[in-house]
A and B are shown apart, each in its own frame.
Chain A
Amino acid sequence: MEKRIWIPFFGNFFCELGQVYDLAVRGFRAIFQKPFEKRNFWQQLEEVGVNSLPVVSLTAAFGGLVFGLQAYLAFHRYIGPGSESQGGPIIAVGLCRELIPILVGLMVAGRVGSAMAAEIGTMKITEQIDALFSLGANPVKYLVAPRILASMIMVPCLTLYGDVIGIFGGYAYNVLLMKVNKTLYLQNTLKYFEMWDISVGLIKALVFGLVIAIVGCWQGMTAEGGAEGVGRATTKSVVVASITILILNFFLSKVLPATL
C-alpha cells in the first residue's frame, strides 16, 4: 500500500523537476537569441528591482538592527562590558553572507515570484500565451527569458543595497543607541570584514534570483483550472521558491570557502 503512495509521489516530483529544468534551459538559451525583448526586460528590471526597494529597505534595516541588538547582548553578557565593539565584524559578516541574501530572496520570492506566477498563470488561462504563439512570439523568449535575466541582475543589486542598510542598522543600534565606542567598532569591522564576504552573499543572491524567476514562471506556465488554479500557482510559487532558497543557502554556505 505504501509503495503505491510513494511511487506516484516520486514520479510526479521527478517529472516536475524535469519540467523546471527544461524551462530553465530554454529560458537561458532564449536570453541569447535575437531579437532581445528589451521592453519586457526593462519592465522586469523595474518590477523586480526598483519596486522592491521599500520592502528590502525595511527588512534589511530591521534585520541589521536586531542582529546588532543580539550581538551587543551576546558580547555584553558572555565577554563582558566594553567588549561590544567586537560585534562589528560579526554583524557585517553575518548580514552579508547569510541574513541579507536570505531576507532579500524571501521578500522577492513573496513579492515578485508570486506576481510572475499570477501574471503568467492568468495569461495561460485566458489563452494569451497561445495568442503569443499564434502571433509568432515564442512565449519562453517573450515572458521567461526577460524575467530570468532581470531577477539574476536585480536580486544581487538589492542584496548589495540591503548589505549597506543592514550594516548601518547594526552600527546604529550599537554606536548611536548603545553608545559603543565608535572608533573601535569601525576598526574591528574593517579589520575582519572582507570583500569576499560581500561576494559570497552576491553569489547566493544570483542563484536565488534564478530560482525565484524559474519557479514563478514555471508555476504560471503550468497553471490550470481558472482563477482557483492561478491562486494555487501563486501560493505554490512562494512556498517552493522559499523552501528552495533556504535549502540552497545551506549548501552554498557549505560549498563557498570562508575566505579567499
Chain B
Amino acid sequence: MSKIKIVDLHKSFEGKQVLKGLNLEIQAGETMVIIGQSGSGKSVLLKHIIGIMKPDRGQVFIDGREISALPDEEIMKLSRKFGLLFQGAALFDSLTVAENVAFGLRRHTTLGEAEIQRLVRESLEQVGLRGVENLLPYELSGGMKKRVGLARAIAYSPEIVLYDEPTTGLDPIRADAINCLILQLKEKLRVTSVIITHDMNTTYKVADRVAMLYDGRIIEVGTPEDIRNSANPVVQQFINGRAEGPITEW
C-alpha cells in the first residue's frame, strides 16, 4: 500500500484551474521530488496532501485513509504524521525560536518540559543552529528562518516530511547541508519525504523518484536518471533551464 496516494485531483481558484486531474503515488520511506514551473500548483498539491486545502474533485489517501474527506478536527489529529517546511518558513512572529520549534512537540506529545527543551536543542543542532533559542524570528536571516522552520518540522519525528522549496534563499553550502540532512532523515528515521523544488542539484542529490508537474498534471515520473534521459521535450526544457522550447508561458 502506498504511503500517499493522490487520485484525479482537481483544484481551481477564481475560475483558474490549477490542478487538472493529478495522479501520484508515493511509497513509504521514499523521497519524491516534485519539480515544475513557478505557479504550476506544486505548493497547492502539498497543501492537499496535508489536508490544509480541500480538493474540488478527487481524493488524497494517507496510509489508505482518505484525508480529503475528513473534517478539519480529524485532519488535525492526523497532523502528527506530518512535518511541513513552508516556503517562507512561516515561523510564528510572536514566539521565540525555541518556542517555535517546541510548538509541535507540545501539541503532539506528552513529553515533559526538560525533554522538550532537549529535543528543541537537538533539532536546532541538526540544522546547524546553536545559541539562537531565545531570538525572535525577525532577528534571523532568511536562511536561518528556513532552518528553524525545518527544525520545527522534524522536531517531533513525523512519518512524512514535506518540504516546500527547502533550499531557496540558502547559499550553496547551506543548501547542500540541507540536502544532506534530508538524506540523513531518510536513512535514520525512514521518513517519507515529498520535496518541491526548482533546484536540480537538490533533485539529483536526494530524489529516489522525480515527478514533473506541468499544466495541472504529473507528466512524467521516474528515477533521476529516467528524468535526465526523458524524451519529453517539456521535461528536457525544464531540467536544462532553457527559455526556448514547448513551455512558452513563463
Minimum CB–CB distance from B98 to chain A (whole Å) comes to 14
Q: Indicate whether A74 reaches chain B with its CB closer than 8 angstroms.
A: no
The stretch among B79-87, B181-189, B210-218, B220-228 that forms the contact with chain A is B79-87
Name B47's closest neighbour in chain A (CB-CB).
A130
Query: Which of B76, B80, B86, B93 makes the CB contact (< 8 A) with A138?
Result: B76
B156, closest chain A residue (CB): A135
B78, closest chain A residue (CB) = A136
Whether A136 contacts B86 by the Cβ 8 Å rule is no
Cβ A127 vs Cβ B88 within 8 A:
yes
The smallest C-beta distance from A145 to any residue of chain B, in angstroms, reads 14
CA distance A52 to B97 in the complex (A): 29
B66-112 residues at the A interface, CB under 8 angstroms:
72-73, 75-77, 79-80, 82, 84, 86-88, 90-93, 103-104, 107-108
Complex CA–CA separation, A133 to B90 (angstroms): 12
Residue in A123, A127, A136 whose beta carbon sits within 8 Å of that of B76 in the complex: A136
Find out whether the CB atom of B92 lies under 8 angstroms from the CB atom of A133.
no
Contact, CB under 8 Å: B90 / A136? no
- Chain A residues lying within 8 Å of B90, measured Cβ to Cβ, are 126-128, 130-131
Contact B72 A136, beta carbon cutoff 8 Å: no
B50 in the interface (beta carbon within 8 A)? yes
Provide the bound-state CA to CA distance between A258 and B19, in Å.
Answer: 61
**B86 and A127 contact, CB distance less than 8 A:** yes
- With a CB–CB cut-off of 8 A, which chain B residues contact A128? 90-93
CB distance from B74 to the nearest CB of A (A): 12
Q: Smallest CB–CB gap between A134 and chain B, Å? A: 4
Interface of A is mostly: helix
Is A85's CB within 8 Å of the partner chain B? no
Write the nearest CB–CB distance from A230 to chain B, whole angstroms.
Answer: 13
Q: Is B47's CB under 8 angstroms from A136's CB?
A: no
Confirm or deny: A79 has a beta carbon within 8 angstroms of a beta carbon on chain B.
Answer: no
Which residues of A are found within 8 Å of B108, using beta-carbon distances? 135-136
- Is B219 in the interface zone, CB < 8 Å from A? no
Contacts of B79 in A (CB 8 A): 133-136
A130 and B107 CA atoms in complex are apart in Å by: 15
Give the docked Cα–Cα distance between A37 and B95 (Å): 14
CB of B52 within 8 A of CB of A133, answer yes
Contact of B73 among A122, A127, A138 (CB under 8 A): A138
Is B76 a contact of A130 with CB atoms below 8 Å? no
A137, CB-defined interface residue at 8 Å: yes
Closest 4 CB pairs of A and B: A131-B90, A127-B90, A136-B107, A135-B104
